[in-house]
Structure 1
């Protein structure tokens, strides 16, 4: 009976140690994952900010592109008018 008690006690101690090491490694893993999530959230915020800046810059470029296309069309019309009449047409100055 004493052997059973000692054996049971040894098994309980080993089980307690295994549980301790498992829970310790589990806590470490959770801490690492929490840190990774925090880093990923920081990266996400940075990328979202950069995305907004790039959208603003794209909008400016598209606006400039439409202005240039309109100016180009005016120049084509002026050239066609010059070819047809031989007189230099009055071209309004580009907007600033």
Structure 2
């Protein structure tokens, strides 16, 4: 009977040690994954900020493109008028 109790205690101690080592390794893995998630969130925020800046710059470029297209059309009309009449048309100066 004493051997069974001692054997049970030894098995329980071994099981406790195995559980401790497994759980400490598991905790280390969770900590590492938590750190990776934090780094990825930081990168995501940085990329979202950069994306917003690029969208703003794109809208400025598109607005400038629209202005240039309108000016180009005015120039085409002026050239056509000059070819038709031989007189220089009055073209307003481009906005600054």
Provide the TM-score with structure 1 as the length reference: 0.96
Measure, in 1, the Cα distance between the counterparts of 2:64 and 2:45: 29
Structure 1 unaligned runs (5+)?
A: none
For 2:22 and 2:84, the matched residues in 1 are separated by 90
Matching of residues 1-96 of structure 1 within 5 Å: 1-96=1-96
Q: Give the alignment's Cα RMSD to 1 decimal.
A: 0.8
TM-score computed with the length of structure 2 as normaliser: 0.96
Consecutive unaligned residues of structure 2, counting only runs of 5 or more, are none
Number of aligned pairs? Answer: 96
How far did 1:90 drift?
1.2
* Offset at residue 88 of structure 1 (A): 1.1
Deviation at 1:2, TM superposition (A): 2.0
Q: Deviations over 1:53-73 (max 9, x none)?
A: 001100100000000000000
Structure 1: distance between partners of 2:77 and 2:7: 102
